[in-house]
Chain A
């Protein structure tokens, strides 16, 4: 009887152990799968390309006859001053002033949006998302040049090197009838030509480069370096109001000419 009782006890323990193992075998992978799903979801959210996502939820124009939308993007800002010249001229201040002046010049015929109007920090994605959300017709990012060669000077215009086959490039193609790179080039040529005409300063040319801020934009876009803050002569000019005004006039004329030929 004692043996039989111990047998029952062992048998019960075995049953409990088996039951526990079964529960663990079922629950642990399920919990792991749930954790993995949660982790994957978090990664997908973080890595979701913001510009494309923003493009999908773009606000439609209020009416077909509304003014063309121009987004001006003064680079840097906030804790990121950009490059600073030997005399202390800061890129973030100069480009903001040029952008504000350009906006004023375009205010009569266009809806002009600035990605920043004060000294605040923005990510590249926030700048591009703003333009996509506003369904802009043109995006111009304004920066200054800086070089280890102090003689480097003039205005450089850059277009994205990857807009031929991206979703953003296809969106440009569908809205303009041209591929993204062609439209970017056309805008770059208009801006370079107008700046040169208005300031007679050196235009360094139009180059392609994988610029972060131009990625994912769904409208023709360029990045302009409006002068070299590392060149002592040009830094002094950029510190003055008249030089910034002529740069703004060149930019405004280039944008106006591009949109006029686009219509």
Chain B
């Protein structure tokens, strides 16, 4: 009778395989859980919904109308920023209007104002995030061809930021640019450029640099 209750070889094999499969599954669950914990995520919650992919700028849609936009260039003595009003094509998407404005800024002033962006610099890409942060990726010559002083670097940064955050660029998509994050050749800026300013985070507009706002309290005496 006792011999009859002894499990057969095939049954033992099945049990062993089943146990191993269960352990492998358990092992996988443990590994996944520990990895999630290591990444700071709660393994008991559903995966976070990823933000919508950034919106790359492609071809500019055909403009149906134009709008008055202020481009900020350095004043003739390169102390502050002065506005240069231009009539630029206006389309539905804010990010497209920003690209048009930035291209006009790169083309330079038509008045006695000074451009603080080297003529070798181009824009690689531009993305507008849901939180109002506009990411602008400049080409590498920005790092190699720019003058490296606090004044010149700050004029560059605020000429771009004050230009791109103006409400005149807001399209009918109602997207708003609140700040600008800078990239150079796809990477966050290092201390090679700007050498004096910290551009690790987004930059908000600063009217302190605008001549019309009396920024900087210049002393001509």
Give the interface of A toward B (CB within 8 A).
Answer: 3, 6-7, 10-11, 13-14, 17-18, 21-22, 24-25, 28-29, 32-33, 36, 82-83, 124, 143-149, 151-154, 156, 158, 161, 192, 196, 202-213, 215, 223, 225, 230
A3 touches B9 (CB 8 A): yes
List residues of chain B with CB within 8 A of the CB of A151. 76-78
Q: How far is B7's CA from A3's CA once the two chains are assembled, in angstroms?
A: 12
A60 to chain B, nearest CB (A): 30
Chain A residues with CB under 8 Å of B114's CB are: 148-149
- Please tell me if the beta carbons of B217 and A149 are within 8 angstroms of each other in the complex: no
B203, CB-defined interface residue at 8 Å: yes
Complexed CA–CA distance, A19 and B39 (Å):
29
B152 and A202 form a contact (CB under 8 A): no
Kindly identify which residue among A82, A148, A205, A225 contacts B116, using a CB–CB cutoff of 8 Å.
A148
The residue on A at minimum CB distance from B221 is A196
Question: With A149-B114, A212-B191 as given contacts, are A206 and B76 in contact (CB-CB < 8 Å)?
Answer: no
Beyond the given pairs A196-B221, A207-B151, 18 more chain A to chain B contacts, judged by CB atoms under 8 angstroms and listed by A's residue number, are A10-B12, A33-B34, A145-B152, A147-B151, A148-B114, A148-B115, A148-B147, A149-B114, A152-B79, A158-B154, A192-B219, A203-B218, A204-B151, A205-B79, A205-B80, A205-B219, A207-B215, A211-B150
- Within 8 Å by CB of A7, from B12, B31, B196, B208, lies B12
User: Does A206 contact B78, Cβ atoms closer than 8 Å?
Assistant: no
Q: Which residues in B have their C-beta under 8 angstroms from that of A14?
A: 12, 15-16, 19-20
A25 x B150 contact (CB < 8 A): no
Q: Give complex CA distance A230, B16 in Å.
A: 81
Kindly state the separation between the CA atoms of A30 and B220 in the bound complex, as whole angstroms: 68
User: Could you say which interface size class chain B belongs to?
Assistant: 35 or more
Contacting residue for B152 out of A3, A18, A148, A213, CB 8 A: A148
* Binary A-proximity of B191-221 (CB < 8 A = 1, otherwise 0): 1000011110001001011000001111111
Q: How far is the CA of A188 from the CA of B196 in the complex (A)?
A: 18
Cβ contact within 8 Å between A18 and B151: no
Is B13 at the interface (CB under 8 A from chain A)?
yes
Interface check B30, CB cutoff 8 A: yes
Kindly supply a per-residue 1/0 record for chain B positions 140-161, scoring 1 wherever the CB is within 8 Å of any chain A CB and 0 otherwise.
Answer: 0000000111111110010000
| Complex contact B198–A212 (CB within 8 A) | yes
Chain A residues near B37 (CB-CB < 8 A): 33
Would B215 and A143 count as touching, CB distance under 8 A? no
* 4 closest Cβ pairs, A-B complex: A205-B216, A14-B16, A152-B78, A146-B149
Q: Across the A-B interface, how many residue pairs have beta carbons closer than 8 Å?
A: 151
Q: A149-B76, A149-B78 are in contact. Are A17 and B20 (CB under 8 A)?
A: yes
- Contact residues in B for A207 (Cβ distance below 8 Å): 151, 154, 208-209, 215-216
On whether the beta carbons of A146 and B218 are closer than 8 Å, the reply is no
> DSSP majority for the A interface?
mixed
CB neighbours (8 Å) of B206 from chain A are 161, 208
* Residue of A with least CB distance to B158: A209
Minimum CB–CB distance for B95 against chain A, Å: 25
B104 within 8 A of A: no
Q: Contacts A205-B216, A206-B217; is A83 near B147 (CB within 8 Å)?
A: yes
Complex CA–CA separation, A151 to B76 (angstroms): 8
- Please give the distance in Å from B41's CB to the nearest CB on chain A: 13
Report whether B196 and A143 are in contact in the complex, using a CB–CB cutoff of 8 Å.
yes
Q: How far is the CA of A13 from the CA of B197 in the complex (A)?
A: 66
Binds A, one of B21-29, B58-66, B166-174: B21-29
Contact in complex: B203, A21 (CB < 8 Å): no
Q: Is the CB of B147 within 8 A of A146?
A: yes
Q: Contact between A156 and B151 (Cβ–Cβ < 8 Å)? A: yes
Query: Would A29 and B215 count as touching, CB distance under 8 A?
Result: no
22 sample A-B contacts, Cβ–Cβ < 8 Å, listed by A number: A3-B9, A6-B9, A11-B12, A17-B20, A21-B24, A22-B23, A28-B27, A32-B31, A33-B37, A145-B149, A146-B148, A147-B147, A148-B147, A149-B74, A152-B151, A156-B79, A202-B220, A205-B79, A206-B217, A210-B197, A215-B198, A223-B196
Contact with A along B117-154 (1 / 0, CB 8 A): 01000000000000000000000000000011111111
CB-based nearest A residue for B150:
A158
Which of A3, A7, A18, A208 touches B20 (beta carbons < 8 Å)? A18
Whether A29 pairs with B152 at a CB distance below 8 angstroms is: no
A147 touches B149 (CB 8 A): yes
A153 to B218, CA, bound (A): 12
